[in-house]
């Protein structure tokens, strides 16, 4: 067997791309037919480690040459042996692979067979990103060291956690061009949303004919006229915190494009909701009535005024008819989720303050009777769910390696996350090119991570 190149072994085998697998097959002496077949069926490193002889014989691969099948199974076994050899087995309870008389790992049961204190699947669990029983690896991302097994754990058998080791992973690409495209997408959606707000202002229902709808919260919370300004102040404070997070985060451009993509998508959905149904004004204190802005150029000009002021009342922007759903709730909720996601877990004060501003901002909207309760609730639900769905896909191993499988759920995801092959760690750096003693340390080209794929640092 030819030696696996270091540029591949330095990367976790489970994160090999289809091209990496093709390169490995070429080094093993396989022809272009097999490499093209693997590329056609998108067999990456994760799939390669789990492939079996039956998988190769059955459709859709359907290999028929016995020599090719045996050669390939042997090469995969050698690759797994190389992975196992990189694991420190000097500690008690760690899986140790034995070789039988024919030099194969284990005595039977497949390409590798059993091991001395566990199974080979236990050793490969780290490479696959799962526990040996097939479940997800749920170890805390902030944990630096593996805890010692308790007596009850020892009685059940060897621990499935591996000792902390170091390996180098290539850095995540900033992809500034994609960040610019995401910003352009956000700007376009902002203008579209502003134009829709002008249209719905023309269609505001007459308050005499369509009085405010019954609302449980608004009917029981007294009107506080200045509360809406406090909501915008809360949003401003969250925006300041988020700006500082972006400024010092090492992967600021990945965060930026995720922020713009999510904000743009949510507001695009809001535009559709506003355009479909015009709700009655939630309170008689709001001096809202249908207003015709005239021809198309006048409407576009008014839309630009709204976009320039970000739809904020403290900027002098007053709109009517844009009730389903609350744009202010969207902004403070998305800002809150991004702040809590991209700051370390140990910074509980930041997280608590962020959630407090989010919840109080929603209350201030209702206290000012600027929106119905359903507007605020739906805005919070949609914003938080889309954030969680997007980041679940980005942080889930199988969807991260095959982003196009998420097209059905989030069409923009495949394009913007195609090169993000692992979870974005919360690392910070000095953003300015000054003579700062830690700049060189922060700007290392490669990132040190432990054997569980957890970054060392923040």
Q: What is the pLDDT along the chain (458 residues), one digit of tens a residue?
A: 444 555 455 456 777 888 888 888 888 888 888 888 888 888 888 888 888 888 888 888 888 888 888 888 888 888 877 776 655 444 444 444 444 433 344 433 333 334 443 444 444 444 444 433 333 343 334 433 333 334 333 333 333 333 333 345 567 888 899 999 999 999 999 999 999 998 988 888 888 888 999 999 999 999 998 999 999 999 999 999 999 999 999 999 999 999 999 999 999 999 999 999 888 899 888 888 767 777 888 888 888 888 888 777 777 777 888 888 899 999 999 999 999 999 988 889 999 999 999 999 999 999 999 999 999 999 999 999 999 988 888 887 666 555 555 566 667 887 888 788 788 888 888 876 544 444 443 343 444 444 454 555 44
- What span, in angstroms and rounded, lies between the C-alpha atoms of 235 and 336? 9
**Is 41 labeled as catalytic in the residue annotation?**
no
- What span, in angstroms and rounded, lies between the C-alpha atoms of 280 and 323? 9
- Residue 80: DSSP 8-state: H
**Is 371 labeled as catalytic in the residue annotation?**
yes
Q: How far is CA 309 from CA 16, 176, 287, 303, 399, in A?
A: 47, 27, 20, 10, 38
Residue closest to 400 by CA, chosen among 322, 453, 337: 453
Marked catalytic residue, from 20, 44, 375, 450: 375
**Is 55 labeled as catalytic in the residue annotation?**
no
Model pLDDT, residue 5? 53
Residue closest to 201 by CA, chosen among 135, 99, 299: 299
- What span, in angstroms and rounded, lies between the C-alpha atoms of 25 and 32? 9
- What span, in angstroms and rounded, lies between the C-alpha atoms of 123 and 160? 8
- What span, in angstroms and rounded, lies between the C-alpha atoms of 214 and 225? 20
Question: Helices 18-27 and 32-40: crossing angle, nearest 10°?
Answer: 160
Q: Please report the domains of the chain, with CATH numbers, ordered by start residue.
A: 6-133+158-163 (1.10.150.50), 176-442 (no CATH)
- Entry pTM: 0.61
Marked catalytic residue, from 20, 371, 397, 450: 371
Marked catalytic residue, from 328, 337, 369, 397: 328
Question: Residue 167 is inside which H or E element, if any?
Answer: strand 167-169
């Amino acid at each position: 067997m030819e030696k696996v190149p270091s540029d591949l072994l330095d990367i976790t085998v489970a994160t090999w791309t289809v091209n990496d697998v093709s390169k490995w097959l070429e080094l093993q002496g396989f022809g272009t037919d097999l490499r093209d077949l693997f590329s056609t069926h998108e067999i990456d490193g994760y799939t390669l480690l789990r492939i079996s002889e039956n998988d190769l014989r059955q459709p859709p691969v359907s290999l028929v040459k016995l020599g090719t099948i045996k050669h390939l199974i042997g090469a995969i076994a050698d690759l797994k042996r190389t992975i196992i050899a990189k694991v420190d087995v000097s500690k008690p309870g760690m899986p140790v692979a034995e070789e039988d008389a024919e030099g194969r790992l284990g005595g039977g049961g497949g390409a590798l067979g059993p091991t001395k204190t566990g199974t080979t699947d236990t050793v490969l669990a780290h490479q696959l990103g799962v526990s040996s029983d097939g479940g997800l690896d749920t170890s805390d991302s902030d944990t630096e060291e593996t805890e010692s097994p308790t007596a009850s754990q020892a009685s059940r058998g060897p621990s499935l956690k591996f000792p902390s080791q170091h390996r180098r992973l290539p850095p995540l690409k900033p992809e500034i061009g994609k960040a610019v495209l995401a910003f352009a997408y956000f700007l376009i959606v902002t203008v579209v949303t502003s134009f829709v707000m002008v249209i719905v202002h023309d269609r505001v229902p007459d308050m005499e004919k369509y009085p405010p709808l019954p609302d449980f919260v608004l009917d029981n919370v007294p009107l506080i006229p200045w509360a809406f300004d406090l909501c915008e102040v809360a949003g401003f404070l969250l925006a300041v915190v988020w700006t500082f997070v972006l400024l010092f985060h090492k992967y600021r451009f990945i965060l930026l494009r995720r922020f713009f993509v999510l904000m743009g998508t949510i507001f695009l959905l809001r535009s559709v909701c506003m355009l479909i149904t015009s709700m009655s004004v939630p309170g008689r204190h709001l001096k809202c009535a249908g207003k015709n802005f005239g021809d198309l150029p006048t409407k576009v000009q008014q839309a630009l005024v709204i976009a320039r002021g970000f739809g904020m009342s403290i900027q002098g922007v007053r709109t009517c008819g844009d009730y389903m759903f609350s744009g202010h709730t969207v902004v403070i909720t998305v800002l809150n989720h991004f702040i809590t996601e991209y700051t370390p877990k140990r910074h509980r004060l930041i997280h608590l303050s962020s959630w407090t501003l989010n919840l109080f901002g929603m209350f201030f909207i209702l206290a000012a009777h600027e929106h119905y309760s359903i507007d605020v609730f739906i805005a919070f639900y949609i914003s938080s769910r889309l954030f969680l769905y997007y980041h679940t896909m980005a942080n889930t191993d199988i969807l991260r390696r095959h982003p196009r499988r998420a097209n059905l759920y989030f069409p923009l995801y495949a394009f913007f996350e195609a090169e993000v092959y692992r979870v974005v760690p919360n690392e910070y750096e000095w953003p300015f090119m000054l003579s700062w003693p830690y700049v060189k340390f922060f700007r290392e080209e490669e990132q040190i991570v432990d054997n569980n794929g957890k970054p060392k640092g923040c």
